[in-house]
Amino acid sequence: MKFGYSDRVMELFRNPKNAGPMEDANVTAIAGSMACGDMLKMYLKIEDDPERIVKASFESYGCVANIATSSMITQMVEGKTIEEAKKIGFKDEVDALGGLPKIKYHCASLAVQALRIALSKWGVIKGEREVDETLTREILRGILDPVTDKDIVTAGVVRSLKIEGRLLEISLHIESEEAKEEILPAIDEAFEKMDVDIDIEEV
């Protein structure tokens, strides 16, 4: 163990597998952590008959553990059916990494959170679930407010939501133009691949 990290963690940090964006992904997800400001974007390519994840990749903006856990989760889901991927949990990933320092457990949770969001979005894309307030807030929690370093839901940037079918009306209170320039594009990115219309009102 180096700095409390297993050999597997250090190996994936130095030589991450599946790193980088994926042009032919059909679902993506963004997750952010208030614990340390880490960010993760996951890309999945899913094929039908049977419904299976055939390729996964990630972009990570964070520490050693964030990079290693992001790399590991993409390796764990490749070749899995959707139902199999849904069963992957925090402990499965920590065990696969040979352990993590407790102070870095949130990184494994972040990777699993990104997977959960991606699979939920896939359900919407496939018409198997509706866009509701719970999912919308979960997606928005993946976006960090640069003013407070909290996600935009917890920070109070998101004031209200109204959902009518595929129309999402989001009311935001943004503190500065600089924050606005980061948050608005991030919202569009967070909902990419989903057939929804987003109407943002600033209050």
- pLDDT of the residue at 48: 84
Q: Which of 30-44, 80-94, 150-164, 176-190 is the least confident region?
A: 30-44
pLDDT band at 3 (very low <50, low <70, confident <90, very high): low
Q: Stretch 120-126: mean pLDDT, rounded?
A: 94
Cα–Cα distance measured from residue 162 to residue 141, given in angstroms and rounded to the nearest whole number: 16
Return the percentage of the chain with pLDDT > 90, whole number. 71
DSSP annotation of 154: T
The number of beta carbons lying within 10 Å of the beta carbon of residue 99 is: 15
- pLDDT of the residue at 37: 67
pLDDT at 43 over 50: yes
Domain boundaries, the chain: 7-125, 133-202
Return the percentage of the chain with pLDDT > 70, whole number. 96
Looking only at the bridges linking them, the beta strands covering 167-172 and 158-164 are: antiparallel
pLDDT band at 34 (very low <50, low <70, confident <90, very high): low
List active site positions. 36, 107
Q: Stretch 189-203: mean pLDDT, rounded?
A: 93
pLDDT at 103 over 50: yes
As a whole number, the mean pLDDT across the chain is: 91
- pLDDT of the residue at 1: 46
Q: Which of 60-69, 125-134, 152-161 is the least confident region?
A: 60-69
- pLDDT of the residue at 4: 77
- Asked if 172 and 67 touch (Cβ cutoff 8 Å), the reply is no
7-125 matches 133-202 in fold: no
Q: Stretch 120-138: mean pLDDT, rounded?
A: 93
Helical spans, DSSP H, in 100-140 = 105-125, 133-140
- pLDDT of the residue at 133: 94
CA distance to 83, 106, 183, 197, per residue, from 37 (Å): 30, 11, 15, 28
Which CATH fold would you assign to the domain 7-125? Sufe protein. Chain: A (3.90.1010)
β-bridge mates for residue 30, sequence order: 41
Q: Stretch 30-35: mean pLDDT, rounded?
A: 74
β-bridge mates for residue 57, sequence order: 43
pTM of the model: 0.89
CATH superfamily, domain 133-202, is: Fe-S cluster assembly (FSCA) (3.30.300.130)
- Straight-line distance from the first to the last Cα atom of the chain, in angstroms, rounded to the nearest whole number: 50
pLDDT at 161 over 90: yes
* Residue 129 token pair: 């679930």
